[in-house]
C-alpha cells in the first residue's frame, strides 16, 4: 500500500455480526488502524483513545475500523468491555494485514515473534490512501490522526 492507492477489495467479518467490504467504504474518510492483540495494555489504550475522541471523528464524517488477527468472539468481548463505538475487523488469515504489509518480526518480552506492527491508515472520501503511520506509539497518536482527518475538509 502506498499513498494514493485505493482501498483493497477485501471482505472481513466484523463485530455486530456483519461483514465489511473495504473497497465499498467510500463517501467518507476512513481510519483503518491495525493493532497486535485484543485486551492488551497498548491496544486497550489505543482503542480507548479512539473511543474518547469518537465524536470529533464523527463531526468529520469519518469511520473508524480496528483490525487484528483475533477472532470475532474476542473482538466482541473487547469492544463491549471498553464500549468502543466503532467496529473491529477479524483478519485471522492475515489477508488485509499482508495487503498493508503490517506483519513484521518484533520482540515481545525479549522473544522474537511475528505479528502485527501497530499501524494506522487514513483514506479520503474517494477511498484513496491519504496518510499512513507505521510502528505507532500510542500516546497522542489519535490526536495526530484526528488532525489529519480534519485537514481533509
Residue with cell 495494555: 41
43 noted as active-site residue:
yes
Length of the chain: 153
Nearest to 141 by CA among 76, 37, 66, 58: 66
C-alpha triplet 54, 79, 46: angle, nearest 5°: 55
Instruction: Say if residues 7 and 93 touch (Cβ distance below 8 Å).
Output: no
Question: Which of 7, 12, 30, 43 is labelled catalytic?
Answer: 43
Nearest to 137 by CA among 42, 72, 22, 15: 42
Residue with cell 506483519: 103
Active site residues: 43
Amino acid at each position: 500500500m502506498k499513498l494514493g492507492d485505493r482501498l483493497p477489495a477485501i471482505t472481513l467479518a466484523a463485530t455486530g455480526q456483519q461483514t465489511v467490504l473495504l473497497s465499498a467504504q467510500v463517501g467518507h474518510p476512513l481510519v483503518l488502524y491495525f493493532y497486535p492483540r485484543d485486551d492488551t495494555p497498548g491496544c486497550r489504550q489505543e482503542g480507548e483513545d479512539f473511543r474518547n475522541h469518537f465524536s470529533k471523528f464523527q463531526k468529520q464524517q469519518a469511520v473508524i475500523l480496528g483490525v487484528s488477527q483475533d477472532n470475532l468472539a474476542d473482538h466482541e468481548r473487547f469492544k463491549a468491555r471498553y464500549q468502543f463505538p466503532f467496529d473491529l475487523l477479524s483478519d485471522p488469515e492475515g489477508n488485509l494485514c499482508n495487503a498493508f504489509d503490517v506483519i513484521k518480526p518484533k520482540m515481545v518480552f525479549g522473544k522474537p515473534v511475528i505479528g502485527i506492527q501497530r499501524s494506522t491508515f487514513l483514506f479520503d472520501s474517494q477511498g484513496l490512501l491519504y496518510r499512513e503511520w507505521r510502528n505507532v506509539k500510542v500516546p497522542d497518536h489519535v490526536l495526530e490522526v484526528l488532525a489529519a482527518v480534519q485537514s481533509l475538509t
